[in-house]
Amino acid sequence: MPILADVLQKIIICISGEKVMKKLKVSQVAKIVGASVATVYRRINSCESLQSHLIKVKSTTFLDEEGVEILKRSFQKEEPDKADVETEYLKKIIEQQQTTINELLARHAEERQRSDTIIMKLSNDLGSVRNLLEEAKKPIPLLSEPPKPVPVWEPERPKNPLDGLAWYQKAWVKVFEPWRMRRYAS
């Protein structure tokens, strides 16, 4: 409403004889109608009934009160139809987006439930594996007594080839047959 008050303050009153005629600039009419000045000029040029209500003073174009009313009605006729088409289109887009959002939410809920069950199963498995590992760490008491030490295996020592010989035989083997002194005869 402040725009309307400003516009009314800027009304130029022309007095021609006894008749008082109010006229508005095209820019003021554009503010009242809620459209751009270029749109108002296009509408004025396309509508023949407005031509008789135009007043040009120097390079400024004015519209009288009847012309302003005609212009208001022409804008009001188009706005509801245009608005209805736009609102229906926007409603349709919003509905489509809402259904998409609902589908995504449902899909997300299913995936969340699946992931929760998988996590539960994995945590149960982890707990059971942890219990098994703890049991494996405990020593297993198989014997009540500690095991006896086992002697390390050693091969048999070969007997000395000179054992059981007389002293003169030992001398003979040492001097004349030294190969017989070998422990491992081949």
Q: Taking a C-beta distance cutoff of 8 angstroms, is the pair 43, 26 a contact?
A: no
124 domain-assigned:
no
Residue 13 near residue 33 (C-beta atoms within 8 A): no
Q: Quick check: 5 pLDDT over 50? A: no
Q: Please report whether residue 44 resides in a domain.
A: yes
Query: Full-prediction pTM beyond 0.95?
Result: no
Q: For the chain, give me the number of helices (H) and strands (E)?
A: 5, 4
Question: Is residue 68 classed exposed, middle or buried when 0-12, 13-18 and 19+ CB atoms within 10 A define those classes?
Answer: buried
Q: Tell me which residue of 18, 11, 16, 17 sits closest to 65, measured CA to CA.
A: 11
7 in a domain, yes or no? yes
**Residues 29-57: tens digit of each pLDDT:** 888 888 888 888 888 888 777 777 788 88
CA angle 178, 179, 182 (to 5 degrees): 105
Residue 62 lies in a domain: yes
Structural domain containing residue 44: 2-78
**Assigned domain for 136 exists:** no
Residue 138: φ, ψ to 5°: -70, 140
CA distance linking residue 32 with residue 9, whole number of Å:
13
Q: How far apart are CA 36 and CA 28, in angstroms?
A: 10
Place of tokens 């302003």: 68
In the numeric block, the tokens 């987006």 are attached to 97
User: In a 3-state reduction of DSSP, which class is residue 48?
Assistant: coil
Domain annotation covers residue 17: yes
Among the ranges 62-66, 72-76, 92-96, 176-180, which has the highest mean pLDDT value?
92-96
Flag whether 128 is in a domain: no
Q: What's the CATH number where 23 sits?
A: 1.10.10
Helix pair angle (65-137, 26-33), 10° resolution: 40
Which helix H or strand E contains 64, and what residues bound it?
strand 60-64
Q: Is pLDDT of 150 > 50?
A: yes
Q: How much is the pLDDT for 78?
A: 53
Give the CA angle between residues 151, 154, 158 to the nearest 5°: 145
Among candidates 134, 108, 114, which has minimal Cα distance to 122? 114
Number of domains in the chain: 1
Q: What is the pLDDT of residues 56-78, one digit of tens each?
A: 888 888 888 888 888 888 777 65
Examine residue 50 and state whether it is found in any structural domain, yes or no. Answer: yes
